[in-house]
């Protein structure tokens, strides 16, 4: 039989690992958005304001998902 304290520690560890993976994914996603926004602004400087709005909106949505994962 598994000790209840060991089971609680295992559950806490798995939650921390999940949150860590979500955080890494969010960081990679925001980095890719920034890189592609800079690349597309370099290709078409006239569209920089609309590109910036879209990039900031998507970055905020990704951050929201990462913050929600804290409470799950």
H-helix segments, the chain:
4-43, 48-71
Amino acid 1: pLDDT:
60
What pLDDT, on the 0 to 100 scale, is given for residue 53? 97
pLDDT tens for 30-71 read 999 999 999 999 999 999 999 999 999 999 999 998 888 878
Is residue 59, in this structure, part of any structural domain at all?
A: yes
> 43 in a domain, yes or no?
yes
Contacts of 30 (CB under 8 A, 6+ apart): 59, 62, 63
Residue 4: inside a domain, yes or no? no
pTM of the model: 0.76
39 belongs to a structural domain: yes
| Structure token digits, residue 58 | 């998507």
Q: How many domains does one find in the chain? A: 1
């Amino acid at each position: 039989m598994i000790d209840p304290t060991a089971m609680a520690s295992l559950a806490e560890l798995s939650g921390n690992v999940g949150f860590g993976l979500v955080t890494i994914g969010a960081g990679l996603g925001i980095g890719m958005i920034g890189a592609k926004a800079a690349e597309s602004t370099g290709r078409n400087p006239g569209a920089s304001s609309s590109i910036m709005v879209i990039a900031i909106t998507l970055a905020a949505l990704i951050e929201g998902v990462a913050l929600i994962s804290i409470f799950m």
